[in-house]
């Protein structure tokens, strides 16, 4: 079993000495660095860093590391995020009628390919209840239409709080989340079957074929109020 590590991501104004200061902080606490990636965005004047180190032998107790990392980020005038490699985030899947995305995510989670937990599946149709429950997930049916959208989204948010959900993944949910939902729970990922920013919205493959496009693909992105326009996480072409 792999030893647990801490992963710290930082973004701050660029200046000389940042790599030394960050790695020096880890070393000063007895940390053994596993990976370190640093990047400078010259146009924006920003420094971006991701550094990972072993928890075994680190001088700070685990519960004290987040506050210490936050203090480091503030000292550098930036923002940071810290997480631990052995933490499995609690993820809710929003689905509709089609089962292929749900099955793929649940099987990969069960096999250990995706380091996460799926305690909750929310759907606006009853079709996928058995699949969710077979994998040990709580299934909640919340039918939605234009008249009930605001009320249903409040119930969805309550379920996310109840299950201490950290991330939502839209797995062929086929509904657009409202601005109010995203303001209350912004950590939502969608997979759109086109190479964004091309062919947003419905029928992207059909529209790509009509335009004579030679390569198609898929994009994982964070969900924002604008359809298929959120920050891109990863892309692949076929």
pLDDT tens across 122-180, in order?
Answer: 999 999 999 999 999 999 999 999 999 999 999 999 999 999 999 999 999 989 999 99
pLDDT along the chain (238 residues), means of 10: 90 98 97 97 96 97 98 98 97 96 97 97 98 98 95 98 98 92 97 88 89 90 90 90
For the chain, domains (ranges, CATH) are 5-84 (3.30.70.260), 90-237 (3.40.50.170)
Please report which residue ranges of the chain form alpha helices under DSSP H: 18-28, 65-75, 100-110, 129-134, 149-162, 179-184, 204-211
Q: Which of 185, 135, 56, 76 is nearest to 222 (CA)?
A: 185
Distance of CA 179 to the CA centre of its chain: 18
Catalytic center residues? 228
Rounded distance between C-alpha atoms, residue 72 and residue 68, angstroms: 6
pLDDT at 2: 72
Rounded distance between C-alpha atoms, residue 221 and residue 238, angstroms: 18
Contact partners, residue 3, CB within 8 Å, separation at least 6: 54, 55, 56
Label residues 12-31 b or e (16+ Cβ within 10 Å = b). Answer: beeeeebeeebbebbeeeeb
Handedness of CA 26, 27, 29, 33 (dihedral sign): positive
pLDDT at 1: 56
Q: Which of 70, 101, 92, 100 is nearest to 83 (CA)?
A: 70
């Amino acid at each position: 079993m792999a030893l647990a590590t801490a992963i710290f991501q930082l973004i701050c104004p660029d200046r000389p000495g940042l790599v030394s200061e960050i790695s020096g902080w880890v070393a000063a606490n007895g940390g053994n660095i596993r990976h370190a990636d640093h990047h400078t965005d010259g146009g924006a004047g920003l420094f971006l860093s991701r550094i990972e180190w072993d928890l075994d032998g680190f001088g700070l107790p685990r519960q004290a590391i987040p506050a210490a990392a936050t203090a480091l980020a503030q000292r550098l005038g930036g923002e940071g995020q810290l997480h631990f490699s052995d933490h499995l985030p609690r993820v809710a899947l929003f689905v509709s009628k089609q089962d292929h995305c749900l099955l793929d995510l649940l099987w990969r989670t069960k096999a250990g390919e995706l380091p996460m937990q799926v305690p909750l599946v929310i759907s606006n149709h009853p079709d996928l209840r058995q699949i969710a429950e077979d994998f040990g997930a709580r299934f909640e049916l919340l039918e939605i239409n234009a008249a009930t959208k605001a009320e249903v989204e409040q119930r969805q948010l309550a379920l996310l709080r109840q299950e201490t959900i950290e991330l939502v993944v839209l797995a062929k949910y086929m509904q657009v989340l409202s601005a109010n939902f995203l303001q209350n729970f912004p950590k939502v990922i969608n997979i759109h079957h086109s190479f964004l920013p091309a062919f947003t919205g419905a029928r992207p493959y059909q529209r790509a074929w009509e335009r004579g496009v030679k390569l198609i693909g898929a994009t994982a992105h964070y969900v924002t109020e604008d359809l298929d326009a959120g920050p891109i996480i990863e892309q692949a072409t076929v």
